[in-house]
Amino acid sequence: MKILRTPDECFKVVTDFNFEPCYTNIKTEDGSELRIHHIDEGPRDGPILLAMHGQPVWSYLYSRMLPFLTEAGIRVIAPDLPGYGKSDKPASIDDYSYQNQVDWMISWLQKNDFKNLTFFGQDWGGLIGLRMIAEDPDRFTRVAMGNTGLPYNPNTPKDVVDKVKKFRSSNKKITLFSVGAALNKMDSKSLSVDKKEKHHPATKFMYWQKFTWETKNLPIGMINAMQMDKVFKSKFSTLIHYVLQRIWLEKISPFYSYLMKVYEAPFPNSSYKMGPRAMPSHVPTIPDQSLEAQKKAREFFKKSDKPFLSVFAGDDPVTNGIEKDVLEMAPNAKSAPHIGGGHFFQWTRPKQLSDVLINFMKEKK
């Protein structure tokens, strides 16, 4: 396996995330050594929150929440998934199979021997983390997750499967703006469905899958900043930055906002971006090789009595409909009030989300 490592100097631009880096070396299935980074902040004897990010961000996403959590006496462990942040970056699309990512993070978890964990995952952090819990449940005492789920689609109609596959292999050019339009149409539709719908969510999410995979220099900084940075409040500003991204190509534009620089920092050039490009294609919106593992994990949560909290923003079109599926998957799950903030509510609602998790961790079982 070819593995890339981001030079430390690339992170000099990140001036407000100066936490001591922790590194763990694990072995991949082919014997390659993969280094995974995490931060470990807060009192050593405090209750532990394992906070996992998704695509296409890194542990920096939790930086606004850390003060609230650690002041409440909580120890926060936040890893960078392989392919992101300060973790190593496998260089092939095939490296990022759903199972590989679960296996890598279970190896990381077990090598550090973390126990008595409260889990919180968002986006891919949930897809991977919920599978980790199902495979090694004794390390976890509580489960919280938001804007994510465990997609399971064994009964997707053949015409939908064919449409998705045909679209993703076509020569159709996808722009960031057409992606946004498609994803906004997913509002209230879950990524996990078992009946034929007029507008199946897989036929909307396929725009994101095709765009990320076919865009060699994926504009990661811009994609994240569009959802977090005030500079992108207007469509005109978004268009200007998109044009600048295309002009500067592999270089960091001097016109980038700070957040854009933070989220481009892990990627010295486009060859480092395989994780963010590949992972959307591995979200099981249609039946794939992850089907049986998803079924097994969902069966675990059907029977689990671990305290389970569903924490959704409520205004994220991609994940709004997933909460219904999560509550059906985990009968003992409780739904927290929707706090808004969009897809990356760790950044836009840091205090509200922190308060929800602090209260959940302090509840008596």
Select the more confidently predicted residue: 110 or 232: 110
Average pLDDT of the chain, as a whole number: 90
Lowest-pLDDT range of 70-74, 134-138, 184-188, 247-251: 247-251
The question of whether 40 is a catalytic residue gets the answer no
**294 in Cβ contact with 134 (< 8 Å):** no
| Whether pLDDT at 365 is above 90 | no
Cα–Cα distance for residue pair 261/85, rounded to 1 Å: 12
Report the candidate in 185, 203, 192, 134 with the shortest Cα–Cα distance to residue 323.
Answer: 192
Give residue 232's pLDDT band: very low, low, confident or very high (50, 70, 90). Answer: low
Can you tell me whether residue 38 is helix, strand or coil? strand
Quote the strand ranges of the chain, DSSP E.
3-4, 22-27, 33-41, 48-52, 75-79, 89-90, 117-122, 140-146, 308-310, 333-335
Can you tell me whether residue 236 is helix, strand or coil? helix
Residue 303 CB-density burial (10 A; 0-12 exposed, 13-18 middle, 19+ buried): exposed
**185 in Cβ contact with 150 (< 8 Å):** no
Distance of CA 142 to the CA centre of its chain: 19
Give residue 219's pLDDT band: very low, low, confident or very high (50, 70, 90). Answer: confident
Catalytic residue among 95, 229, 316, 325: 316
Which string of b and e fits 327-347 if b means at least 16 CB within 10 Å?
eebbeebeebebbebbbbbbb
Q: At what angle do helices 124-135 and 291-303 cross, to 10 degrees?
A: 70
What confidence score (pLDDT) does residue 240 get? Answer: 47
Domain shared by 224 and 358, yes or no = no
| Whether pLDDT at 70 is above 90 | yes
Catalytic residue among 103, 123, 229, 325: 123
DSSP 8-state assignment for residue 138: G
What confidence score (pLDDT) does residue 187 get? Answer: 66
Give residue 247's pLDDT band: very low, low, confident or very high (50, 70, 90). Answer: very low
- Which residues lie across from 36 on neighbouring strands? 24
Select the more confidently predicted residue: 177 or 267: 267
Highest mean pLDDT among 82-91, 169-178, 203-212, 234-243: 82-91
The question of whether 162 is a catalytic residue gets the answer no
Query: Is the CA virtual torsion 190, 193, 196, 201 positive or negative?
Result: positive
Lowest-pLDDT range of 119-128, 225-234, 284-293: 225-234
What confidence score (pLDDT) does residue 111 get? Answer: 98
Domain shared by 137 and 181, yes or no = no
Q: Tell me the CB-side half-sphere exposure of residue 11, using CA atoms within 13 A.
A: 17
Q: Give the total number of structural domains in the chain.
A: 2
Can you tell me whether residue 174 is helix, strand or coil? coil
Q: Token match 């076919």: residue?
A: 214
Domain shared by 133 and 15, yes or no = yes
Domain shared by 30 and 67, yes or no = yes
Residues 252-309 have pLDDT tens digits of 556 678 998 999 999 999 999 999 999 999 999 999 999 999 999 999 999 999 999 9
Domain shared by 180 and 165, yes or no = yes
User: Residue 326: which residues within 8 A CB-CB, separation 6 or more?
Assistant: 145, 149, 150, 310, 333
The question of whether 325 is a catalytic residue gets the answer no
What confidence score (pLDDT) does residue 34 get? Answer: 98
Given 282, 310, 335, the domain boundary residue is: 282
What is the residue type of 299? E
Domain shared by 273 and 339, yes or no = no
Domain shared by 112 and 50, yes or no = yes
Given 282, 311, 333, the domain boundary residue is: 282
Select the more confidently predicted residue: 311 or 249: 311
Select the more confidently predicted residue: 141 or 255: 141
| Whether pLDDT at 226 is above 90 | no
Domain shared by 175 and 127, yes or no = no
What is the residue type of 206? M
Q: At what angle do helices 291-303 and 322-329 cross, to 10 degrees?
A: 60
Give residue 195's pLDDT band: very low, low, confident or very high (50, 70, 90). Answer: low
Domain shared by 118 and 134, yes or no = yes
| Whether pLDDT at 32 is above 70 | yes
Residue 208 lies in domain? 158-282
Give residue 326's pLDDT band: very low, low, confident or very high (50, 70, 90). Answer: very high
Given 243, 260, 282, the domain boundary residue is: 282
CATH of the domain at 49: 3.40.50.1820
Integer angstrom CA distances of residue 74 from 128, 155, 306, 356, 359: 23, 42, 19, 13, 11
Residues 86-115 have pLDDT tens digits of 999 999 988 999 999 999 999 999 999 999
Q: Tell me the CB-side half-sphere exposure of residue 217, using CA atoms within 13 A.
A: 13
Question: In degrees rounded to 5, what are phi and psi of residue 173?
Answer: -90, 130
Cα–Cα distance for residue pair 23/319, rounded to 1 Å: 32
